[in-house]
Structure 1
Amino acid sequence: MHQDNSAQTELSKKSSSTPKRKSARSPVGKSSLRRVAVEAQRSRENTKRGRDAVLEGTENNRVIATSVADQFEMDAVIRILRSHGFQIDPDGTDFDTEQVVHTRGVNNGDIFVFPSGSVVAWSLPEDVVSDLATKTLLPASLNPLADQIEMEDLEYLEDPKRENSSIKADVITLGTKPTLYSVEPEKARVDTTLAKIAFSSGLARSTKLAVLETMLRRYFESTRNIPKLLSRNSRLPFDRRFMLQKTGELLELRAQLNHYSELTDSLPDLFWDSKHELGLEGYYDQVGRALDVGIRIKTLNEKMDYAQEIASIMRHTLSEKHSLHLEWIIIILIAVEVGFELRREWKEKNEQS
């Protein structure tokens, strides 16, 4: 018990300190969600005006999302968090812990852990979130990403005059005003937590997508010379092992995007049984639209189609090379056989003479 209190005290000290942002971090690769939105050709001026209008006179906080592994083993996540003194599901949301694990630090900073290998934290310093995701929860990680870790952040605020929540100009606004369905303070707090879960799920989805974008970018860096070599009719300096390796990497990327995750699902299983009046599926969709998740998924698939064309050309080229090699082997064997036959006939002719 003393160890648990020490862990909570340490978290409190870290949480009360001013967050320090590093200009270059290794091994964590960081790309701002606002930069992603700009790359999707959204208007910077409109974004700034919208943010200023929303934040005027209101205290601002940060929500940080990071993806550190292919998956989390959720039972192990619960054991680890409890061993460090964290209470599981403090607001009694009753969500399936196989879908999301909610806990809260002593500073009331909410932490949500998703089975996709993502952690989303509200009102916690970046170094605390990073330590929790990459160190504390490391034993629960399946295939840690190591140098492919992604971390994103958004601003958020709480508005006691609004019942509904929204995301606008890359700022999440949480409406904390009690509704007709949640007059009691505890019920209103639960509704706010549910809204955070919905927004966190959308952020975790975007961060997971950023991991695949980084992996595909590195894939293209490793094969970027191939089109140039083909255009020059040059010999490809790659062997069959390299070709199989790149084909496997591409298939794994496409499977992670389209088959082994909920990235392309319009609504995760997490929200199927939620109350309609809470609008959780709407919050999830808002995050997807704000961060251009649909466009990014489409772009990823198009890039993978292009990469697949290159891989097909590589296989065809290596197949031709292999066929040519076999043809030369056959020609040489025939030549050797003809040579032996001529030598035999020459010997027979000499013996007869």
Structure 2
Amino acid sequence: MQQTDLISSKESTGTAEKKELIILSNGTVIGWNFGEQQLLEVAPRLSSALDEQYAYESDEFDFIELEQLPPNPKSNGNSYMINDIILIQNVTEEKKILDKVAFSIGMSRSTRVSILEDNLEQFLKITRRNSDRLSKGLPVTASEHDVLQLTGKLFLLRGKLNLYNELIDTPDLYWSEPTLEKIYQQISTSLDINWRISILNRKLDYATDEQRAFLSFLNERKGTRLEWTIIILILIEVGFETYRFWQDTRPGSSSE
């Protein structure tokens, strides 16, 4: 598990509340007919099982759960989204639960991307200080170690987005379940997941180029310092040799 996300869904009908809690292996908690405050009371009990701790991210959606299938040939009796409202309908309770899980996994992508977006914004705030100093003609105070450390964090962030989880791929489970895959794609499209991932990758590209520029600048500055050090050492050596030559050639000096 990598983070805890809270997603609450409130039924928009006047029926009796049936609360359902779904906990995903990636650390996301989805409550159907739960409020955000209720989920915040549940989350601390799960945090001890998490490998990494992040600030909570939460989203809230409205849904309608129908007890009977309406005559709607377009949906073929399956759950779907209309605008930003989730409509849960199916023949059996088991299929309704599978539909809710598909919606939940799709919704979890939004909060997980939000966590990465927040992490990148915090990262950019740090690197912006160096850019501001350069734009004002001031020396950069960051060391090579600092820049390398930030670059490592940047690579880790890019890995979390593109390599270490299923944010950019459809879960293997849904490849053989066209109905559930459609639900997963609907909620992902509604939340602009692919667009947000694309924007995040562009920002990561910029941040990577920026760190490379800083590292090149620091290496050049380090190289210049080494060159001046060598020049000064040569001048000192020349000074000693000149002094010794003067000592040997001045009147009254003893020579071999």
Query: TM-score range, shorter-chain basis?
Result: 0.7 to 0.9
Distance of 1:351 and 1:168 partners within structure 2:
105
Q: Deviations over 1:104-133 (max 9, x none)?
A: xxx742222222221111112322312222
- Cα RMSD, aligned residues only: 2.6
Q: Deviations over 1:130-169 (max 9, x none)?
A: 2222x11122111111xx2211111111123342111222
SS in 2 for 1:257: helix
Q: Deviations over 1:314-343 (max 9, x none)?
A: 111111110111111111111121122223
1:329 aligns with 2:229: yes
Other-structure match for 2:189: 289
SS in 1 for 2:52: strand
1:150 aligns with 2:57: yes
Distance of 1:136 and 1:271 partners within structure 2:
30
Where relative contact order (Cα < 8 A, 6+ residues apart) is larger, the structure is 1
1:304 to 204, 208, 212: 204
Shift of 1:294: 0.6
**Pairs within 5 Å for 1:1-353:** 58-59=13-14, 108-133=18-43, 135-145=44-54, 148-159=55-66, 160-162=68-70, 163-176=77-90, 178=91, 188-265=92-169, 267-274=170-177, 276=178, 279-349=179-249, 350-352=253-255
1:59–1:157 CA contact under 8 A, matched in 2: no
- Give the counterpart letter for 1:155 in structure 2: D
- Give the counterpart letter for 1:351 in structure 2: S
Distance of 2:87 and 2:247 partners within structure 1:
98
Aligned residue pairs total 241
Normalised to the residue count of structure 2, the TM-score between the two structures is 0.85
Other-structure match for 1:74: none
Normalised to the residue count of structure 1, the TM-score between the two structures is 0.63
Question: Unmatched 5+ residue regions in structure 2?
Answer: 71-76
Distance of 1:209 and 1:171 partners within structure 2:
21
Shift of 1:244: 1.6
Other-structure match for 1:181: none
Task: Provide closer, same or farther for how the CA distance between residues 30 and 231 of structure 1 changes in structure 2, counting only shifts above 3 A.
Answer: farther
Bigger radius of gyration: 2
Distance of 1:314 and 1:31 partners within structure 2:
39
SS in 1 for 2:93: helix
1:166–1:283 CA contact under 8 A, matched in 2: yes
Moved over 4 A (4+): 28-32
Other-structure match for 1:102: none
1:60–1:155 CA contact under 8 A, matched in 2: no
Task: Provide closer, same or farther for how the CA distance between residues 149 and 233 of structure 1 changes in structure 2, counting only shifts above 3 A.
Answer: same
- Give the counterpart letter for 1:231 in structure 2: S
Other-structure match for 2:73: none
Shift of 1:308: 1.2
